[in-house]
Amino acid sequence: MITLDNVTLTFPDGASRVTAVDAVTLHGRAGRVTGITGPSGSGKSSILAIAGTLIRPDSGRVIIDGVDAAGLSRDEATALRRSRIGIVFQQSNLLPSLTAREQLQVMGELGDRGARGPRGVRRAVRGRVDDLLDAVGLSDQADRRPAQLSGGQRQRVSIARALVREPRVLLVDEPTSALDQERGAAIMELIGRLSRELDTATLLVTHDLAHSAALDELVTVVDGRVVDGAAVDGAAVDGAVVDGALEIR
């Protein structure tokens, strides 16, 4: 479960400040995929950055699995990100020197200190690698490096990497932007299925509503605000705004 409660974020712009996120409130529920859409520059990536503790908002609360992340120090935010948040990047962002299997194994090598210690985390992560590679359909590609995989395969590895530590929250940034329609649909279906299977609260930023069927909810953002509107850039969505979130019918 993730909740952004009345969150505002501003950036310096010369002598003044520009508001990127304006009093946004939204909820990501366990086992459901919440889409965040809007035109370019609307603030949807900033919302994702706030949800991922990559940037601290000026005001408001960010509740992740019961913890208010808005007031955490940088190290505490890193630890929270490591233990409870999975991130799928727009460009997959796989490490070129690692094979698909190692892309997942590296998640057990991030400098954990807690009660389970680095060895416990490493063992737990390694125990899940093969199952997740199987779940994303890449068992037979496990020993290939990113350069030897297709764009869709790289994005599948990225999804498996984000889920290998069993995060409570999954953040997905434009996962289909570099893929064709068919592969994009497959990725969206995969994210929806794994979110439900692993009971993960997923926030998914997209400007492409062609795959909106894979979403459980959709939030539309314009100029940093969640707006009451069914159409963005000409794409029609059949839904209604509930508590600031547009629920799809």
Chain residues in the site for other proteins (CB under 8 A): 45, 48-49, 52, 54-55, 75, 78-79, 81-83, 85, 87, 89-91, 93, 95-98, 102, 105-107, 109-111, 113, 145, 161, 173-174, 177
Parallel/antiparallel/unpaired status of strands 169-173 and 201-205: parallel
Q: How far is the CB of 161 from other proteins (least distance, A)?
A: 8
Q: How far is the CB of 4 from other proteins (least distance, A)?
A: 16
CA 156 to CA 140: how far, in whole Å? 13
Q: How far is the CB of 110 from other proteins (least distance, A)?
A: 4
CA 216 to CA 192: how far, in whole Å? 8
CA 96 to CA 211: how far, in whole Å? 29
DSSP, res 110: S
Q: How far is the CB of 26 from other proteins (least distance, A)?
A: 18
Q: How far is the CB of 143 from other proteins (least distance, A)?
A: 12
Q: How far is the CB of 66 from other proteins (least distance, A)?
A: 18
Instruction: Give the N- to C-terminal CA distance of the chain in Å, as an integer.
Output: 22
Q: What is the DSSP string of 197-236?
A: HHT-EEEEE-S-GGGGGG-SEEEEEETTEE---SEETTEE
Say if residues 146 and 101 touch (Cβ distance below 8 Å): no
Name the H helices within 9-99: 44-51, 74-84
Name the residue nearer to other proteins (CB basis): 67 or 230.
Answer: 67
The structure tokens listed for 144 are 């290939």
Name the residue nearer to other proteins (CB basis): 61 or 145.
Answer: 145
- Sign for the CA dihedral angle at 42, 152, 201, 214 comes to positive
Name the residue nearer to other proteins (CB basis): 36 or 246.
Answer: 36
The 3-state DSSP class for residue 69 equals helix
Name the residue nearer to other proteins (CB basis): 52 or 239.
Answer: 52
CA 5 to CA 34: how far, in whole Å? 16
5: β partners: 61
Name the residue nearer to other proteins (CB basis): 54 or 63.
Answer: 54
Q: How far is the CB of 156 from other proteins (least distance, A)?
A: 17
